[in-house]
Structure 1
Amino acid sequence: MDKAMWEKAVAFHGHECPGLALGVRLCEFVRLRLGRTSAHDEELVCIAETDACPGDAIQALLGCTLGKGNFIYHCTGKTAYTFFDRATGEGFRVIAKRNQTPLSREERKQQIYTAPLEELFSVTVPKEPLPEKARIFTTLTCACCGEGVAEHMARLQDGKVVCLHCFHPYDR
C-alpha cells in the first residue's frame, strides 16, 4: 500500500484501523480501474452504501466529498461503493469481500495491506443510475423554528413552509 496515501487517509480519519486500510485499498483499486487519481470537482462520483471507515479514505484520497455533492450516502448496510466517471459514463459497483478467517484487528489490517486487490473486492454493475450533478437550492425560512432550509427539503404544513424537524407527518 502506498505510504503517502495511507498517511493522508489516517490524518483525515484520525486513527489507523482495518476499515480505513480497506478504504485506502479501495481507492487504489478505483484509481487503477479508472486511470484517474482524484476528482477536482464532480467528475468522479461515489455512492456509498455504508457510513463506515472506508468512506473517509474515499473523501481524503479520491476527492469525492459530501460538500461537492459527489459523495452520496444511500444506506444499505453493505460495504459496497458505486463509482461513476462522468466523462466516460462508466460505472461499477465494488463490494468488499467478507473475511471468513478469525483475525485480530492488527492481523486484519496487515492482511488488507498485503492482499491482492482481487482478493479484497468484487465488481458488479451499478444498482442505480449516475446521479445528476449537484444543484444549488434556494434557502427558505422555517415558519416554526426560523432556521434556513434548502427548498427541496422543505415541507408545507398548514400552508406554511417548515423544515423536516418541525414537520409533523401524517402517516396513518
Structure 2
Amino acid sequence: MLDREDLYKKCVEFHGHSCGGLLVGFRAALCAMERFGLDGRAQDEELVCVAENDACGVDAIQALLGCTAGKGNLIFRLRGKQAFTFYERKSGESFRISLKNLEFADRESKRAFMESAASEEIFDSGEAPFPLPGEARIYSSQSCAACGERTAEPWLRVKDGRLLCLDCLEKESR
C-alpha cells in the first residue's frame, strides 16, 4: 500500500514547495500508479508520460514515476492543458487524463478535494489520442560551422553547404 503523505512529501522535496499545480501532478501520478499497478519509479523507459503542459505538476510525474526528459520517457506536447497521457510499454496499456473543470469556494476546499477525492472525480479519462512514442534515440553530434558548438544532428540545418545550429541559422537569417 502506497503512503500518500510520504509520496507527496517526495514531490514537494523535488519541486521545492507545495502548491496547487504540484497537487494536480501528484494526483495524475497516483492515477497512473493505480491504473498500471505500480509501486515505484520507472528505472528506464518502461513507463512514458506525454505532458500537455510544462507547469508544476510535471515535477510530481518526474519524482514519483521516473518519467524524465533526460531519459526520453517524459515528452512535452505543449497545449496549455492539465492533461497527461500515460503508456506502459510492457503491457501496451495507455490512457489520457485531463483535469475536470470544477468550481470551489476557496483554495482550502479545492485542496481538500484534491487530496481526498477519487481519481475519477478529479480527472476525465479516455483513450490515448496517439500511439506509444518510440524509445529515445541517441543522435550523433556535429560541430556548428559558425559557433563550433557540438549539436545533435536533428537540430542542425544546412545553409549554403554549411551545418549550422538553430541559433546560428537564426542569426544568419536576419
Letter in 1 for 2:77: H
Alignment of structure 1 residues 1-172 onto 2, 5 Å: 2-37=4-39, 38-104=41-107, 106-168=108-170
2: distance between equivalents of 1:152 and 1:102? 49
Do the aligned residues in 1 keep the contact of 2:25 with 2:57 (CA within 8 Å)? yes
CA RMSD of aligned residues (A): 1.7
Could you say what secondary structure the match of 1:166 adopts? helix
Using structure 2 for the length normalisation, give the TM-score: 0.91
Secondary structure in 2 matching 1:140: strand
Asked if 2 retains the 8 angstrom alpha-carbon contact of 1:47 and 1:83, the reply is: yes
Change (3 A) 1:160 1:96: same
**Separation in structure 1 between the aligned mates of residue 109 and residue 124 of structure 2, nearest angstrom:** 22
- Shift in Å, 1:147: 1.2
User: Take 1:33 and 1:114, find their aligned partners in 2: how far apart are those partners?
Assistant: 17
User: What SS class does the counterpart of residue 3 from structure 1 fall into?
Assistant: helix
Q: Could you say which structure has the higher helix fraction? A: 2
CA–CA separation in structure 1 for the residues paired with 2:144 and 2:105: 51
Contact 2:28 2:84 in 1 (8 A): no
- Distance in 2 (CA, whole Å) between partners of 1:155 and 1:111 is 50
Query: In the alignment, residue 134 of structure 2 is paired with which amino acid?
Result: E
- Structure 1 residue matching 2:24: 3-state secondary structure: helix
CA shift, 1:35, in A, is 0.7
**1:134 to partner: Cα distance:** 0.4
CA drift at 1:110: 2.4
Q: Which amino acid aligns with 1:98?
A: N
**One-letter amino acid matched to 2:71:** K
Q: Report if aligned partners of 1:17, 1:109 keep a CA contact under 8 Å in 2.
A: no
Q: Quick one: which amino acid aligns to residue 4 of structure 2? A: D
Quick one: percent identity of the two aligned structures? 44
SS of corresponding position for 1:40: coil
Normalised by the length of structure 1, the TM-score is 0.92
Q: Deviations over 1:31-50 (max 9, x none)?
A: 11011232110000000000
Question: Deviation at 1:107?
Answer: 3.6
- Following superposition, the deviation at residue 101 of structure 1 comes to 2.4
